[in-house]
Amino acid sequence: MSNWEDPEVAKSIGDAASKWGFFQIVNHDVPVEVLENVKDATYRFFGQPAEVKNKYSEEHSSSNNVREQVLDYMKKSEVVIKQLLQVLMKGLKVNEIDETKESLLMGSTRTNLNYYPICPNPELTVGVGRQSDVSTLMILLQDQIGGLFVRKNQGDNWIHIPPIKGSLVINIGDALQIMSNGRYRSVEHRVVANGSKNRISVPIFVNPRPGDMIGPLPELVENGEEPIYKKVLYSDYVKHFFRKAHDGKKTIEFAEL
């Protein structure tokens, strides 16, 4: 991704976003050192006793190195997020991301530190059930253990996303599928438990704000596209998602016309 202006780069991103909804990027603007630091900090955090970890929730903790590393990771990732959105919007013939549109696409960001401990019987459980994300984008940093799978189209084939050092996994979320009027697609994914090693991942969720109305972008409708989604309040969409168990992509039906 060293040259975001390269038409071949833009085409590859657009193809991956429309056909798969998942792809990995390398040679981006987040230093590998930052990625390794946040992974190391996450492992250290989950390796501590519960009473020590509880101290990290204290708002004014002066020794919260984990928070510092995560905030640095989020700050460095913001450039990549904006570059990705710029390319994806141009693929929709939306050539300008003004302040209002930027706020709609990425008005709210949050991160999780995910920890998947060793499972004695991994064949009997799942780390995270099959789902799509409700976000605009999800930027995922995974460790070297692996275990992330995406569903190929609507079939029963699940494709492993192999860890690549220095890479970031990009996931198209439901919000972008709706705003692109289905041109970009979110995709089901799941995490498989590991029987021999602990696993961590650090996702950044890029979302509209809770009070935003999401629907097909006006530029698409004005160019003659028939909308296939209605406008919905983003917070209502998220609430609908969390009301039920992981069930693939059924949440998107909430916004269908």
The partner residues of 160 in beta bridges, in order of sequence, read: 149
- Do residues 112 and 178 lie in contact, with contact meaning Cβ atoms separated by under 8 Å? no
Query: What would the two tokens of residue 10 be?
Result: 């833009």
pLDDT at 2: 66
Q: What angle do CA 163, 154, 81 make, to 5 degrees?
A: 45
pLDDT digits (tens), the chain, 257 positions: 667 888 999 999 999 999 999 999 999 999 999 999 999 999 998 988 888 877 766 655 545 688 889 999 999 999 999 999 999 999 999 989 999 999 999 999 999 999 988 887 666 555 456 779 999 999 999 999 988 999 876 667 889 999 999 999 999 999 999 999 999 999 898 888 787 889 999 999 999 999 999 999 999 999 889 999 999 999 999 999 988 766 678 889 999 99
Which of 199, 228, 201, 202 is closest to 215 using CA atoms?
228
Q: What percent of the chain has pLDDT over 70?
A: 89
Query: What would the two tokens of residue 154 be?
Result: 């609507």
Q: List Cβ neighbours of 50 (8 Å cut-off, separation of 6 or more).
A: none
Sheet of 158-160, strands arranged across? 128-131, 189-191, 148-151, 158-160
CA distance 59 to 65: 13
Count Cβ neighbours within 10 Å for each residue of 135-157 and write b for 16 or more, e otherwise: bbbbbbbbbeebbbbbbeeeeee
**What is the distance of C-alpha 106 from the center of its chain?**
12
The partner residues of 158 in beta bridges, in order of sequence, read: 151
CA distance 83 to 5: 10
Q: Which residue has the tokens 């930052």?
A: 34
Task: Read off the pTM.
Answer: 0.91
Task: Fill in the amino acid letter for 112.
Answer: N
